[in-house]
Structure 1
């Protein structure tokens, strides 16, 4: 199987959507804006831990509303038992063994093509907000969110803390509060 199979599959899907909307030039109306893509990834969240999957205790009204109007990845399996390799797999469409991130402490390789880079080529503006954990979030890092295709980012390099120093587009920013509530 090709190293970039899932990335190519996704891009082929985007291309197919564009081709299905083709009309002769004289009849073509101004094109609609690109659909929004919001990818939410949480550490240690089980499949049924959302209201829209029928959880009896957890209330997730905003996620429930998005899920009722959106495409959901209902059959996604983690590529690894820890966060960094799984995050990298989602961003690259590749297995951790293919992009060299096997556990914590391994970074995303600069030569990897990410979903953010592919979306930018299609005209999207991209952002990363939250835990990065794929390398440094400092300016000049070859694997910070900006170098990995994100136009804007407010990212924590690793775990969530109280009063964390976050990286806003590579600039350190002291914040007040628990970081999962800030992001």
Structure 2
């Protein structure tokens, strides 16, 4: 009987923590809607285009797919560095790149929950919304808009020779989706949209 009470108390603490993380995750997602004005400001300010020789504020952008719960490899390979970079750079943007995750079929309900879970996990690992911008990629239309423009400029043979396409399709080149083929173009747009 005592063990059950301990589990209940533990579950209550976990529920409170989960609720707090979920609230932070939702607040962070709402903050993503402000990324559009951030992007426009980057591209319209007179000082936006610094000469390479001058001191420019360095910006960090990185993304993570919302496919499953982060594991030790994610933490040591990326998230631990993301937390550190928040203190080293003045402009840090982290994205949950849900558009990249749909190159393979996804259940929309599971994907939605995975986005919330990934947001909560990143916040729990130390991503601080006061020091960085954490947002959902699909909530910022400039990613897909720039991706379309870049897609119109790249040649099909070039995309077919890129590693992403070759590695994922292997011998079955006719089974790969167009999303998989243009995956690197969306990656380029993700980075270029923030200069």
Asked if Structure 1 and Structure 2 have the same fold, meaning a TM-score greater than 0.5 normalized by the shorter chain, the answer is no
The structure with the largest helix share of the pair is 2
Tell me which structure has the larger Cα radius of gyration: 2
TM-score by length of 1: 0.32
